[in-house]
Amino acid sequence: MYTVLTYFVSLFVIVISVFTTLFIKNELERMFREKNKMIPFHICNVLLTLMVSFAAHAVLTIYIIGDKFNWLRQLVILIFIILPIYILGHLAFEKYKSVYKKYIPAESGKILVLNEKYLKKKKWPSKFKNYNDFSKEK
């Protein structure tokens, strides 16, 4: 029973960590305007996720449950849990980026087509457009 609890908490931590690191990787790629795949970012993301999930699993096993902790076995198990979740998360982020691109550029740099899905994306309500107008008047 306790083993299921520790792996469930570890899975929860892994999912949150994967999507956080993928979001940060996406923002860094936009900031540096990198067009090619960034393999070092992926390696760092997997290692960060592994460290966070390993620490959560160790704390739950040693301090909460009070069992012995076999670090090598847990490391291998957590890697096999992290890799499929990371790959699926990465594919989901890539699909989201491709669907909601603002436009499709030509090789010459001119805009060919505005993406209709980007234009139809949910917009903020009009009350948020003038949200900060009161402070601008001062």
Judge if pTM exceeds 0.85.
no
CA-nearest of 32, 40, 45, 44 to 93 is: 45
In the chain, domain spans: 2-101
111 bridge partner residues: 105
- CA pair distance 96, 98, nearest whole angstrom: 6
- CA pair distance 13, 64, nearest whole angstrom: 16
For every one of its 138 residues, what pLDDT tens digit does the chain have, with 9 covering 90 and above? 778 888 899 999 999 999 999 888 887 777 776 666 678 888 989 999 999 999 998 998 888 888 788 889 989 999 999 999 999 999 998 887 766 566 666 667 666 655 566 556 656 666 555 555 555 555
Indicate the angle between helix axes 39-59 and 71-99, nearest 10 degrees.
130
What are the structure tokens assigned to 33, written together? 């305007």
Please provide the size of the chain in residues.
138
